[in-house]
Every structure is written in structure tokens, then in C-alpha cells.
Chains A and B, each alone.
Chain A
Amino acid sequence: MTVQATRGPYSDVIRERWRRPKFRGELPGANAVAEDVNPLCGDRVRLMLRLVGGRVAGARFTGDSCAICAASADVVVELVDGRPVAEARRVDTADVLAVLQADIRPTRMRCVTLPLSVLATALNGGASRDGSVGEASGEKARGSGATA
């Protein structure tokens, strides 16, 4: 049983972004902020944007999550930082997966998509969430079962 360079869903990109994220941290002056949790695993992602004149002038994330979710958040921030809001809105799962280059199974797909739904909330007015089960709970409930 040896530890290989890539195991399970963990591509080199995910491992690198997990160890050394480029965009993790607070964003002073953020004016569009959103946060959400995945009730299945407790992943929590907070996205902070500074919107200036229809553009994403700055973006950062914080959170407590698995490696896939953290790597996804890092990629999402990179994809929207400095871009017009209209373009930022179009960033989707396929864009993130293309960067992550990982074999993500359906049970872990929500780890990839959580930062994207937080992004959508932030861009749509940025209601900060306290982590209670919100309107996306139906979607979150899919995937892996939660019985023990």
C-alpha cells in the first residue's frame, strides 16, 4: 500500500490548490459577500467580492472544507477576479472541472459546485448566510446518503 502522487479524485491541481491556495483570505472593502454550507459534509465556503463599475475588482474566499471544495473555491475566485460581472455570472461547473482536471464522482460533485452557488448568491446581492439550510437544500440533499 503505497502513497501515489495521485489518488482517488485528488489531481495534482487539487493537491496544489489545497496546500497553497492563491486566493484564500479576507478581502477588505468587499461589497458582495455570501456564505453557504453543504449539510452533507459540513463544507463551509465564504466568498467575498469587491464590485466596482460592473467588474469584479477583487475576490477572495475563506472557509472550512474538504480539499476538493477548497480547490474549487480557489479556482472560482481565479476565474472571476478582474472580470466583468456578466462574464463572472457565466462561470460554471465545466469551467472549474476543466481547471481541476480531476475524476470527480457524483457523490463529491457538490464539493465542486458549492463555491459556484455561493458565487451566484454573492453576485445576486450577496446575502450573507448563517449556514442554516437554505433554498438550495433540495439540490444538496442529492448525492451521497447521510445515514449512519
Chain B
Amino acid sequence: MRLDELTRPDFPILERAVNGHPLVYLDSAASSQKPRRVIEAMSQYYERSHANVHRSIHTLGEEATELYETSRDRVQRFIGARFREEIVLTRGTTDGLNLLADALCMRLAPGDEVLVTEMEHHSNLIPWQMAARRRGLTLKAVPVTGEGLLDLEALDRFLTGRTRVVAFAHVSNVLGTINPVAEVVSAARRFGAITVVDGAQAAPHLALDMSSLNCDFYVFSPHKMLGPTGIGVLYGRREVLERLEPTRGGGEMIKEVWIERAQWNDLPWRFEPGTPSIAEAVGLTAAIEYLEKLGMDRVAEHERALSRQALDGLAQIPGVRVFGPPHSIERGAVVAFAIEGLHPHDVAALLDADGIAVRAGHHCAMPLMRRLGVVGTTRASFSVFNSPEEVASLLHAVAAVRTAL
């Protein structure tokens, strides 16, 4: 049985129509839809077990704490982390990257260098820009090759004895490029730089193993992988995480408090001040269980087939330009394209009239758009519930769009 045939009945939203057509949801890279199991796990938590975590000595408080901490264990196993205290639950990828930019750059001196890449989402650029401005750091971006790959030769030139942090995407949210994480990490480590990987577009689609990626930090968003919004994962290698000063204070992140000082709590709670996203953690557990049951290798294979179908089909439509690495190179589950003479927002609006949801615009990657010489692109992205028939609908609609305006 095909993966979409297996999973589609689990996604209630796929039953609805949009503009008189069955919904064709091709925007999971922005936020995926949720299987019933995730939605129900969250309502059940609110209906049966809700209380604040860690501080309540009563039955509900203990149940909520156990559910919340179980989520951490599931994440640890899902991404192949060695220790549960390496998993910090945040509010999302953006939140995690801001936390890291603040905490890592706090220790840096003027003139130290932070390296990002030209293909970063704004959330892995702006926090570093802000920190660089505050601390007088130098921010540099490794360029992207004409093929849409990270320029590894340039990376070698950009790395210097002053490079302290290298922050880069695992998978580009526009190009679909899968960056060689382990290779970049080992290059960065030769210069003693800390590595931060934005895994927002990788975690939903690839089997992850932190020990083989070998990076210091890895962040991602459950809402792009069938889970809820409002929660994020920040993995930090224990040796590095335990040397990091917290930048946000509040309840739960302390052990003992006096008026003028405090002693920080152990990992990972040191980085989780305030009441966390508890129901969302429960939803995250359910999303991970769902994905694990399908098998991440099978998920990757399914989405790869859909991407290939879309790439091959789009390449045959006159006036369509497809962005990203050539088809022969393995890529993530996003396909960005432009149609000659049409603005991406018009393309998206015309596809929406057929019930097809795609993303259009700069995809929070303005420097990359500038590099590609476009104001924006139209992007289709795929998840476990998408079918080859839906990709065929997309191709049919794209071919018709050129004459629709």
C-alpha cells in the first residue's frame, strides 16, 4: 500500500473542500497538517490530565509532568541523542535559534566571527545579525553555487581562527538542498567553532541521528512534522550545553534563589523557564509515534518520489523555471519554481482557486531570492499524506495558469 493511501484517512482536514475543489495541501514546509491521533492526544490531555508540570504535588500535576518528560524521551530516541538532558523544549525553531544566538554570542568578543550561509531562512540569520550588532561581531555568509549547493570551497576560505559559530540549514526551505552536515561540522571544528544546525526542513523528512551528524546544536519545529505549533526542539551536545549560560530567567530554571543571586537548575530545565508547552509536548509525542510507526526511511522515500514527480513534470512545462540542485542530486521535500511573466502571488492565488495550497513569496529568505535574481518563488512541499495524483493536479494547474491571467 502506498504511504498516502495508508495515511490519508488519518487527516481529518483532507476531507474538506476549498473553492469547490478537494483540498490539495502542498504547504507542509510552512506547517504540516495533523493526524487525528495528535489532535486527540492533545484534547485528551486537556480533558483528563492538565495541570502545571514539575511543581504540583498532586495526581494531575504528576501525570502532566510524566507526559511532558515522556515527550523529551521520545524526542531523544527520535533524533538519536545520547542523553535526555540534551533535549531542551522551546517554542519553535525561531525561538531555539534566538536562544542560541543570545547565549553563544554573549561569550564572544568584538571581531569574533559568525558564519551563516546565503540559503538561510531569516530565522537563522536575523538572530545572528542582532547578536553581531550588539557584540561587535563580524557576520559572514557562505555563498551558494549556481547549482544551488553550499559552496564548500568557499566555506574553507571563510573559516578562520576568529570563526566562533557556524550556523546553517540542514535542508534549504527554498532550494531543497540537503547540506552535508557532518562535513561542515568537521570543517568548523578544525577551527574550534560551535555548529548550529537549523533542522526545520529536515526533521519532518529524514531519519535523524545526532551522533552521526555530530553537530553541537540542532533545532527544529514539531508543527512541520505533523505535530502542534507552539513547541520546538533544541538539541545541544551535553558538553557544550552545560557550559552555556541561560539568557532567560524565571521559574523552573533555578535550583536555589536568593534576592541577589541564584543557582541554575540542571540540564535541560536550566533552559526552560516558565510554564512550558505541555499539551503541545503531548501532541509532539503522538506525532513522533505516528512517524515512527510509518518509518522515517519510508517517509523519506515517499516524499522523494513526489518531489521527483513534481520536478520532472515542472521541467516539461514551457516557461517554468525550477530552482535548486539538479534532479540527480538528492533533495528535501520542497520544490520552488517560477513561471515566466507571472508573480508568485498570482500563481498561488490561481492555484488556490483550484483548491491547491502552495506557498508564494520570498519564503523568509530574501538574501537567497536576491542571489537567484527573483522577487519570490512559488513553492510546493510534500508530506506523508500527499499523493501522486495531487502532484499531477498541481502540474495540470500550473500548465493552465499561464493562460489564466
Contacts and interface: CB of A to CB of B under 8 A. Distances in A.
Interface of A: 1-3, 7-10, 15, 18-19, 40-44, 64-68, 108, 111, 146-148
A66 B29 CA distance: 23
Nearest to A67: B346
Contacts of B134: none
Interface residues of B, number: 35
Contact of B400 (A3, A10, A18, A148): A3
A148 B404 contact: no
A1 B350 CA distance: 12
A8 B363 contact: no
Contacts of A68: 345-346
A3 B345 contact: no
Interface string B60-82: 00000000000000000000000
Contacts, number: 75
Interface pairs A-B: 10 shortest CB-CB = A42-B375, A66-B343, A148-B363, A7-B353, A8-B353, A8-B349, A148-B364, A66-B345, A3-B400, A3-B404
Interface stretch (B107-115, B146-154, B260-268, B354-362): B354-362
B29 A148 contact: yes
B104 to A, nearest CB: 23
11 contacts: A3-B403, A8-B349, A18-B405, A41-B343, A44-B375, A66-B343, A68-B345, A111-B345, A147-B364, A148-B359, A148-B379
Contacts of A2: 400
Given A146-B364, A147-B30, A148-B29, A7 B376 contact: no
Given A3-B400, A15-B405, A41-B362, 19 more contacts: A1-B21, A8-B350, A8-B353, A10-B349, A41-B343, A41-B344, A41-B345, A42-B369, A43-B375, A66-B343, A67-B342, A67-B343, A67-B346, A67-B405, A68-B345, A148-B173, A148-B359, A148-B364, A148-B379
Contact of B350 (A7, A43, A64, A147): A7
Given A42-B362, A108-B349, A65 B404 contact: no
Given A3-B404, A108-B349, A64 B30 contact: no
Nearest to B365: A148
A6 B369 CA distance: 30
Contact of B361 (A3, A10, A15, A40): A40
Interface string B386-397: 000000010011
A146 B352 CA distance: 17
A65 B397 CA distance: 22
B238 interface: no
Contacts of A44: 375
A1 B393 contact: yes
B214 to A, nearest CB: 27
A15 B349 CA distance: 13
Given A64-B375, A148-B121, A148-B359, A1 B346 contact: no
A137 to B, nearest CB: 14
Contacts of A42: 361-362, 369, 375-376
B312 to A, nearest CB: 20
A40 B354 CA distance: 23
A148 B30 contact: yes
A42 to B, nearest CB: 3
A138 B206 CA distance: 38
Interface string B11-24: 00000000101000
A146 B360 CA distance: 10
A67 B360 CA distance: 14
A133 B342 CA distance: 24
Interface in B258-285: none
B369 A66 contact: no
B404 A7 contact: yes
A108 B349 CA distance: 10
Interface in B15-66: 19, 21, 29-30
A18 B345 CA distance: 14
B401 to A, nearest CB: 8
A132 to B, nearest CB: 12
A147 B376 CA distance: 13
Among B29, B343, B359, chain A packs the most CB atoms within 10 A around the CB of B343
Contacts of B396: 1
Contacts of B360: 41
A8 B365 CA distance: 27
A41 B343 CA distance: 9
A100 to B, nearest CB: 14
Given A1-B396, A147-B30, A147-B364, A66 B404 contact: no
B30 A1 contact: no
Nearest to B402: A3
Nearest to B400: A3
B331 to A, nearest CB: 16
Interface in B146-185: 173-174
A147 B126 CA distance: 13
Contacts of B375: 41-44, 64
Contacts of B397: 1
